[in-house]
């Protein structure tokens, strides 16, 4: 091993040199364990033997080390751990670390950080001193680790006899959640969807952000703070439901209000840093129709942001479900008011706004619908553009081809795009923010909403989120974005 680099002599080919360099990197990886398990403990001698037995029984064989970090326990933990460290039959390297003077009401962050300068694992997995891992926890975790991934396992709450009590707060639907191997956390505030007990972080990233914030004392928000700083560095967050740790239930600890204030400041600074990065803002809204406009709220947005531009996906003729339709031609005063607003653009949104109408259109039917709404919007003198969105994102392949051939960009749901049958050459537009969430860490903010409060996405109920956007950034219409053009590799019917 010591002489392996001497093999890279000058007469071998460049390809072989690269191969040997990769091999050197591989050997370097083998010199370090895959996981550093970091356990935070305080006065838990009663359950620590069971906890450590859980780590001894792991069916993972590719290498891990275990740190027991003690926040100055007074129950004999020190003596027990020092004896445990003498064992020679352990399959992992065990290190006991102790804070000699506890700062009440306890400093979990400071305690866990003891392991950071000594950690050799590629990934750091945090687990508490009242938590027993299932035997396959590390093996399940190893399936999903990656350079830029933050993973969070699931707590199974038990009593000291091992009886099941409940799942942790994130498992709303156990039948669905626990059957999954890996679930991306797509919330724009993923730190609120994780827990520090069962959190796995790439060690390089943990060291880059400085570990846990030791300004936190007591229970509350220290894990959110760490996750927020990792998210700022654009790491991806995932639930790993098969990584189960058994948490021995205890009385709820009082929340530290000081920690809440610290985290509020962290969120404020995060939002300020995101605001500074923004280069443009776009806002669209679905279901704009004569009887459902929320026009007052759009005016309020424009008053707050004089440079605002708002793209309204507009229903040409709204079906009322009783054989009647709402027509824009029946409200000329409203049409005139809209036409005075050069900060509004009109984009077609289906035709009658019926379920699956666009999904069922043939190529020829779509071309006829296009001619009809273009004639109507032109007659109304709307500032309309060739960007289309189907009601409920329901597209048929023939309709998409007709929209493409008529020069339209099609708005698609980013979470469903990969499942769509998309014809070659179609231009598409995707939003990156649902306004019911805090705005994301993106340079171009492309907000998506509804005129009414559909699934919490309504303009009226989310003005607070919108008004957190900076006032000095330029706004764009949806039609001003350079669309993505789908190539033939994405066309399964090409």
pLDDT, tens digit, 9 for 90 and up, residues 53-99: 999 999 998 889 999 999 999 999 999 999 999 999 999 999 999 99
In the chain, which residues fall in CATH 3.90.550.10? 20-265
d(CA 281, CA 474): 6
Going by pLDDT thresholds of 50, 70 and 90, the confidence category of residue 488 is low
Sign of CA pseudo-dihedral 272, 484, 355, 329 = positive
Please say if the pLDDT value at position 176 is more than 90. no
Let me know: does 411 contact 429? Beta carbons within 8 Å.
Answer: yes
Give me the residues paired with residue 263 across strands.
none
In angstroms, what CA-CA distances link 198 with 45, 77, 137, 185, 206?
20, 22, 10, 15, 15
Query: Which position has the higher pLDDT, 93 or 415?
Result: 93
Q: Backbone phi, then psi, for 311, in 5-degree steps?
A: -105, 120
Cβ within 8 Å of residue 249, ≥6 positions away: 157, 158, 159, 165, 166
The pLDDT assigned to 437 comes to: 84
d(CA 64, CA 59): 11
Q: For the domain 20-265, what is the CATH code?
A: 3.90.550.10
Cβ within 8 Å of residue 259, ≥6 positions away: 216, 217, 218, 219, 220, 221, 222
Tell me the fold of 278-490.
7-stranded beta/alpha barrel (3.20.110)
Let me know: does 246 contact 132? Beta carbons within 8 Å.
Answer: yes
Reference 76, options 118, 47, 37, 53; nearest CA is: 47
What is the average pLDDT across 153-167?
93
Q: Is the pTM of this model over 0.85?
A: no
Please say if the pLDDT value at position 310 is more than 70. yes
In the chain, which residues fall in CATH 3.20.110.20? 278-490
Sign of CA pseudo-dihedral 392, 395, 400, 403 = negative
């Amino acid at each position: 091993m010591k002489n392996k680099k001497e093999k890279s002599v000058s007469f071998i080919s460049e390809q072989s040199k690269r191969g040997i360099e990769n091999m050197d990197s591989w050997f370097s990886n083998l010199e370090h364990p895959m996981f550093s398990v970091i356990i935070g403990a305080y006065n838990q001698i009663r359950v620590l033997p069971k906890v450590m037995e859980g780590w001894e029984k792991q069916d993972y064989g590719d290498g891990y080390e275990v740190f027991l970090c003690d926040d100055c326990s007074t129950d004999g933990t020190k003596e027990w751990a020092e004896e445990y460290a003498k064992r020679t039959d352990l399959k992992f390297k065990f290190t006991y670390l102790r804070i000699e003077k506890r700062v009440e009401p306890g400093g979990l962050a400071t305690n866990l950080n003891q392991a950071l300068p000594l950690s050799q694992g590629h990934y750091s997995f945090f687990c508490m001193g009242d938590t027993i891992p299932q035997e396959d926890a590390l093996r399940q975790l190893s399936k999903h680790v990656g350079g830029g991934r933050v993973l969070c396992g699931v707590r199974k709450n038990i009593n000291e006899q091992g009886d099941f009590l409940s799942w942790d707060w994130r498992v709303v639907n156990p039948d669905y959640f626990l059957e999954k191997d890996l679930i991306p956390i797509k919330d724009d505030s993923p730190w609120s969807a994780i827990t520090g007990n069962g959190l796995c972080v790439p060690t390089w990233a943990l060291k880059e952000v400085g570990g846990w914030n030791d300004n936190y004392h007591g229970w509350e928000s220290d894990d959110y703070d760490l996750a927020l700083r990792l998210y700022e560095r654009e790491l991806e967050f995932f639930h790993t439901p098969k990584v189960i740790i058994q948490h021995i239930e205890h009385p709820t600890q009082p929340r530290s209000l000081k920690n809440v204030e610290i985290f509020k400041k962290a969120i404020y600074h995060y939002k300020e840093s995101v605001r500074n990065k923004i280069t443009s803002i776009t806002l669209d809204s679905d279901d704009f129709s004569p009887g459902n406009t929320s026009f007052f709220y759009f005016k309020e947005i424009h008053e707050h942001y004089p440079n605002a531009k708002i793209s309204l996906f507009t229903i040409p003729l709204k079906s009322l479900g009783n054989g009647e339709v709402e027509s824009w031609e029946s409200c000329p005063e409203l049409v005139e008011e809209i036409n005075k607003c050069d900060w509004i653009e009109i984009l077609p949104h289906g035709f009658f706004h019926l379920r699956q109408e666009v999904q069922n259109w043939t190529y020829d039917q779509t071309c006829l619908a296009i001619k009809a709404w273009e004639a109507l919007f032109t007659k109304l003198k709307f500032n309309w553009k060739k960007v289309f969105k189907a009601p409920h994102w329901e597209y048929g392949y023939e309709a998409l081809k007709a929209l493409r051939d008529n020069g339209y960009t099609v708005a698609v749901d980013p979470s469903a795009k990969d499942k769509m049958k998309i014809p070659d050459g179609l231009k598409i537009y995707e939003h990156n923010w649902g306004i019911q969430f805090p705005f994301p860490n993106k340079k171009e903010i492309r907000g998506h909403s509804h005129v009414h409060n559909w699934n919490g996405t309504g303009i009226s109920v989310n003005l607070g989120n919108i008004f957190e956007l900076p006032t000095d950034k330029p706004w764009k219409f949806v039609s001003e974005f350079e669309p993505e053009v789908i190539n033939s590799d994405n066309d399964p019917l090409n």
